Chain A
Amino acid sequence: MTTNPPTRRRVAIITACTVAGLVVAAVGGLAIGPTIGTWHVVGAALAHLGLGHSTLTPLQWTIVWQLRAPRMVLGLLAGAMLAVAGATYQGVFRNPLADPYLLGVAAGAGLGATFAIVNVGQSLTTPTWTPLLAFVGAMGAVTVTWLIGGRRLRSSTATLILAGVAVSSLLTSAQTFLQQQSTGSIARVYIWLLGSLASASWSSVWLVLPYVAVCVAICVVAGRALDVMSVGEDESRSLGVPVRRVRFVVIAASSLGTAAIVSAVGLIGFVGIIVPHIVRLLVGTSYRRILPISVLFGAGFLVLADTIARTVLAPSELPLGVVTALVGAPVFVVILSLRRPVAV
């Protein structure tokens, strides 16, 4: 029996469910936590809308508004950006294994952050340099990758990927060398690399928001172009798509947004590669649908994972990358077994 691609109605239902899940996750991110009863928070939120009265102490309100709220919003931004960047990369490279860190973003950010953290102890840098150097490292790495593998006239996506592998290997070994020279900082570097939303504040949210907003918008709008490009470079060109230009814009937007997120929260894995696949299994292979739904799904998914990460072993927190994998992998397997997987 041939399965037809999902109908519009099915896609609408899935979109609605995703939005609902996102809202629930967001509310959970605010209300659920180890130190305040969940319903008290919900009650306080309603009180602010004029219904009933709040039972939270000022200290508790501070926790909700200054700690949980920016953390939840940053989680939404990070999940949305990583998911859409991963989906975009998968579309541009026509490779199901592509993730947002493919072209060196992770290695570059890791090197930058390691350099910053190692040198704080030597009083050469301050902790505020860490996100900045991570960002510079990430964008620097992608730029070098593009210069090596993307500029030649007949460069293919394969040369870009290979360039990314080369650049990543080089930068990762440089990072390892730095770490070895300063073993006292290994734990701190490792914690940064694992990725965490624990340091979220409203200022980091405002800092990251413009990048994420612009880059997510560019990626989503590129959905139609990615659909055309799924027939390969030559055929896309014959259909009128300026392939190299589209590729450049889309890769630049994904990389920039990912670099901004990575500099704020470290290297959160799994979201960028698996969320697009989950969405693809649900709504089919058209990037016009995959991209916007990945934005919503990724946002809710990461906030859900973060809520689990910070409550299960409170006050300790599980590394976010561990939780995303533990939560996401079974979900992926279930959906995989229910439906024939569709190739990228």
Chain B
Amino acid sequence: MSQVVVHELSVRIGKKELVSSISLEIAAGTWCTIIGPNGAGKTTLVEAVAGLRAPSHGSVTIGRKSVSSMSERERARTVSLVPQHPVVPEGMTVYDYVALGRTAYHGLFRPPSAHDRSVIDGVLERLSLGEFRDRDGATLSGGERQRMVLARAFAQSTMVIVLDEPITGLDMRHQMELLELLKTEVADCGLTVVATLHDLTLAGQFADRLVLLDHGNVAIDGPASDVVRSDELVASYGMHLRVVDVDGSDVVVPVRK
């Protein structure tokens, strides 16, 4: 049973076709990471999955409903987004920022309901943000701030979450922390994750499935352990890569020749 179905999706911005006729199916409760060199179209693809870019051709359906045909509120309850460069407004408390995630539920004219408030409290708890409730969100450190953005996405209580380079700029510890949080959510709540990542090792270690994008097309699509060893990967990145097994985990290493 596929939760996210991308069918012959093409996205054109201006004269340039950034994504050409891509088809993917992502099962519910799985983690799919999109990899590929810069300019491959990763961001455009995931934004289209999140409903932010209108397809010039083809469609994206989530749970058998086309994303473009949903109203804004319905879409916000279906798929949430953690963008590459989130805007954290100054002067907004962590609580209020995470509460933004409930906007699609209580609407623009009502305050969060009791249920909304309990969801927000639960999310703050799960992501260890309770102590920062009343702090100005802009004063958090990088790792804390990214957790806060993730918390907002979780507060949307969606079945699908889309993340665009969620660990850029974080130190190793916070990178692992964030990805583990996501993994737990997938395991506990059946969350479907569609993410883009630069780091091939981490991509391979956390995702169930990798999709390699090159110049707007799917180069290879399959289980993580297969894709990291594929010739297409080497060809796409145009460099020497070796996959090393360390304690049962695949580590992708660039090799200088």
Listed in ascending order, the chain A residues whose CB lies under 8 Å from chain B are 2-5, 221-222, 224-225, 227-228, 230-232, 234-235, 237-242, 246, 284-286, 342-343
A231 touches B86 (CB 8 A): yes
Complex contact A230–B75 (CB within 8 A): no
A-B contact pairs, 12 of them (CB 8 A): A3-B136, A5-B136, A225-B108, A227-B92, A234-B83, A238-B51, A238-B79, A238-B80, A239-B101, A240-B73, A241-B108, A285-B91
Chain B residue, CB-CB nearest to A246: B108
Shortest distance in angstroms between A325's beta carbon and chain B's nearest beta carbon? 26
Contact (A285, B90) CB under 8 Å given A238-B81, A239-B156: yes
Instruction: Verify if B96 is at the interface (C-beta below 8 Å from A).
Output: yes
Is there an interface contact between B134 and A240, defined as CB atoms closer than 8 Å? no
* One of B86, B90, B92 near A235 (C-beta < 8 A): B86
Contact A228 B100 (CB under 8 A): yes
Minimum C-beta distance from A45 to chain B (A): 39
Complex-state Cα separation, A343 to B109, whole angstroms? 25
Taken together as a complex, chains A and B put the C-alpha atoms of A239 and B83 apart, in Å, by 12
B76 touches A240 (CB 8 A): yes
A5 in contact with B93 given A238-B81, A240-B72 (CB within 8 Å): yes
A343 to B87, CA, bound (A): 13
A343 to B91, CA, bound (A): 8
B69 CB-CB contact with A under 8 Å: no
Q: Is B73 within 8 A of A4, CB to CB?
A: no
Question: Considering only CB atoms, which chain B residue lies closest to A6 in the complex?
Answer: B91
- Pairwise interchain contact A241-B72, C-beta atoms closer than 8 A: yes
The answer on a CB contact under 8 Å between A228 and B72 is no
Q: Which residues of A contact B189 (CB under 8 A)?
A: none
Task: Report the bound CA distance from A105 to B93 in whole Å.
Answer: 35
Using known A-B contacts A224-B108, A237-B52, A240-B73, determine if residue A231 contacts B91 with beta carbons closer than 8 Å.
Answer: no
Q: State whether A285 and B87 are in contact (beta carbons under 8 Å apart), knowing that A4-B135, A231-B100, A240-B103 are contacts in the complex.
A: no
Inter-chain CA distance A238–B96, complex, in Å, is 17
B141-174 interface mask toward A, CB cutoff 8 Å, 1 = contact, 0 = none?
0000000000010001000000000000000000
Complex contacts, A285 vs chain B, CB 8 Å: 89-92
| Interface SS of A by simple majority | loop
A2 and B83 contact, CB distance less than 8 A: no
Q: How far is the CA of A239 from the CA of B101 in the complex (A)?
A: 6
Hey, which chain B residues are within 8 Å of A2, CB to CB?
135-136, 139
Chain B interfacial positions (CB closer than 8 Å to A) = 47, 50-52, 72-73, 75-77, 79-81, 83, 86-93, 96, 100-101, 103-104, 108-109, 111, 134-136, 139, 152, 156
B89 and A228 within 8 A (CB) = no
* Max chain B C-beta neighbours (<10 A), residue from A232, A239, A242, A246: A239
The 9 residue pairs across chains A and B that have the minimum distance between CB atoms: A240-B76, A285-B91, A240-B104, A238-B81, A230-B89, A232-B87, A240-B73, A225-B108, A342-B91
Chain B's nearest CB lies how many Å from the CB of A223?
9
What residues on A are CB-neighbors of B93 within 8 Å?
A: 4-5
Q: Are the CB atoms of B52 and A234 closer together than 8 Å?
A: yes
Q: How far is the CA of A278 from the CA of B103 in the complex (A)?
A: 28
Nearest B residue (CB) for A285: B91
Contacts of A238 in B (CB 8 A): 50-52, 75-76, 79-81, 83
Tell me, rounded to whole Å, the shortest Cβ–Cβ distance linking B200 to chain A.
27
Specify which chain B residues have a CB less than 8 angstroms from the CB of A4 in the assembled complex: 93, 134-136
Bound-state CA distance A343–B137 (Å) is 13
* Complex interface: chain B residues within 8 A of A246 (CB): 108
Q: Which residue of A lies closest to B81 (CB)?
A: A238
> Which of chain A's residues has its CB closest to B88's CB?
A231
* Inter-subunit contact B134/A228 (CB<8 Å): no
State A225–B109 Cα separation when bound (angstroms).
8
Determine the distance from Cα of A241 to Cα of B73 in the docked complex, in whole angstroms: 7
Chain A residues near B83 (CB, 8 Å)?
234-235, 238
Minimal beta-carbon separation of A317 from chain B (angstroms): 39
How far is it, in angstroms, between the C-alpha of A36 and the C-alpha of B90 when the chains are bound? 49
In the assembled complex, the Cα of A221 lies from the Cα of B50 at a distance in Å of 28
A341 and chain B: residue at smallest CB distance? B90
Contact yes or no, A239 B100, CB < 8 A: yes
Q: How far does the Cβ of B158 sit from chain A's closest Cβ, in whole Å?
A: 10
Q: Are B136 and A286 in contact (CB under 8 A)?
A: no
Whole-angstrom distance between the alpha carbons of A22 and B79 in the complex? 46
What residues of chain B lie closer than 8 Å to A235, measured between beta carbons?
81, 83, 86-87
Q: How far is the CA of A241 from the CA of B77 in the complex (A)?
A: 12
In the complex, A252→B239 CA distance in Å?
55
Docked CA distance A234–B109 (Å): 21
Supplied contacts A240-B104, A343-B90, 6 more A-B pairs, CB within 8 Å: A4-B93, A238-B52, A238-B81, A239-B103, A239-B152, A285-B90
Compute how far the CA of A342 lies from the CA of B76 in the bound complex, rounded to whole angstroms.
Answer: 29
Complex CA–CA separation, A225 to B83 (angstroms): 20
**CA–CA, A242 to B108, complex, Å?**
10
Q: How far is the CB of A219 from chain B (nearest CB, A)?
A: 13
Say yes or no: B76 contacts A5, CB within 8 Å: no
Whole-angstrom CA separation of A225 from B81 in the bound complex: 19
